[in-house]
């Protein structure tokens, strides 16, 4: 089992939404956290909050394990850049042995394969794949290289990597071709990555959330958000970021969770549109 106190955790997409919830929860458990994002204003603000230099804004977090608070550091980085991510990994290792990496960085672009304006823009498709899939792999490979140097734990464990898939990987809707493909790729690489990294004691999991209260939905009207929540069988509401963070935390804590993509969706199966 990974001990969070005395370890560092790298979280991408950490300036808001699911990533911010994960960062808060892991920091509250005693991990030193490196927040990776392109939004410097929000990233620095969250780092200040976690370091006790600004008022908390993300709601209550679980109690820590006592002792002095672990540090939090923001690193501006593009997850598709090898140099940027390597610098973020180095920042994490500088704080404490890197034992946790969580991929939450992602974007959505809605276009059909063939719409009224013509074929799907190739550049838009490539951008979604680059950030959501290639970016997740980039973080995975570089975090794993750092984790492999850790002293093994009781079960030989050296680290855990958790990526964010989506139910769109399985139930992609009209206009979600790029997003669904990227998230299916995240789900698809989870098992082979776990098998690749088993030899060095690194577990790999993914969480596939349904419709959650995130910045991706912030632009929708309240009526639309309520409609999306009502479509969830139970509970009939949007998921909350801390519920996602709680599952990530459990994946870190449970030594037998490995190579699995876990749906977190209230039994939702998305219709075509």
Q: CATH code at 237?
A: 3.40.50.720
Within a domain: 156: yes
Beta carbons of 66 and 29 less than 8 angstroms apart? no
Within a domain: 197: yes
Per this entry, what is the length of the chain?
A: 273
Q: Identify the weakest region by mean pLDDT among 81-95, 156-170, 220-234.
A: 220-234
Within a domain: 219: yes
Look at residue 249 and tell me whether its pLDDT is greater than 70: yes
3-state secondary structure of 98: strand
pLDDT at 224: 84
Nearest alpha-carbon partner for 9 in 143, 135, 187, 195:
143
Within a domain: 271: no
160 CB-side CA count, 13 A? 27
Identify the band that residue 60 occupies on the pLDDT scale cut at 50, 70 and 90.
very low
Beta bridge partners of 262: 207
56 CB-side CA count, 13 A? 12
Look at residue 233 and tell me whether its pLDDT is greater than 80: yes
Within a domain: 270: no
Look at residue 39 and tell me whether its pLDDT is greater than 60: yes
* C-alpha to C-alpha distance for 150 and 215, rounded to whole angstroms: 35
> Would you name the residues annotated as active-site residues?
179
pLDDT at 54: 65
pLDDT at 68: 74
Identify the band that residue 63 occupies on the pLDDT scale cut at 50, 70 and 90.
very low
DSSP 153-167: -TTS--EEEEEE--T
How many domains would you assign to the chain? 1
Q: Which domain holds residue 108?
A: 8-264
Residue 195 has φ and ψ, to the nearest 5°, of -70, -40
Within a domain: 196: yes
Within a domain: 136: yes
Within a domain: 89: yes
Task: Name the average pLDDT for the chain.
Answer: 94
Nearest alpha-carbon partner for 17 in 267, 243, 270, 262:
243
Q: What's 59's DSSP letter?
A: -
């Amino acid at each position: 089992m990974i001990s969070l106190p005395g370890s560092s955790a790298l979280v991408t997409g950490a300036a808001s939404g699911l990533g911010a919830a994960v960062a808060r929860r892991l920091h509250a458990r005693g991990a030193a956290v490196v927040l990776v994002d392109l939004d410097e204003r929000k990233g620095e603000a969250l780092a200040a909050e976690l370091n006790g230099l600004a008022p908390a804004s993300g709601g209550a977090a679980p109690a820590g394990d006592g002792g002095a608070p672990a540090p939090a550091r923001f690193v501006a980085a593009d997850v598709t850049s090898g140099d940027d991510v390597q610098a973020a990994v180095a920042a994490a290792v500088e704080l404490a042995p890197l034992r946790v990496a969580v991929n939450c960085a992602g974007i959505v672009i809605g276009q059909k394969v063939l719409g009224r304006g013509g074929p799907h823009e190739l550049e838009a498709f490539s951008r979604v794949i680059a950030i959501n899939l290639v970016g997740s792999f980039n973080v995975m490979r570089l975090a794993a290289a750092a984790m492999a140097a850790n002293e093994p734990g009781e079960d030989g464990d050296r680290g855990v990597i958790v990526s964010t898939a989506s139910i769109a990987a399985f139930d992609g809707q009209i206009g979600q071709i790029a997003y669904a493909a990227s998230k299916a790729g995240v789900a698809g690489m989870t098992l082979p990555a776990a098998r690749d990294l088993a030899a060095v004691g690194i577990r790999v999991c993914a969480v596939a959330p349904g419709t959650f209260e995130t910045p991706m939905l912030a632009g929708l009207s309240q009526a639309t958000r309520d409609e999306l929540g009502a479509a969830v069988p139970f509970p009939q509401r949007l998921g909350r970021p801390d519920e996602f963070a709680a599952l990530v935390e459990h994946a870190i804590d449970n030594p037998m969770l490995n190579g699995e993509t876990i749906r977190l969706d209230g039994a939702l199966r998305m219709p075509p549109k």
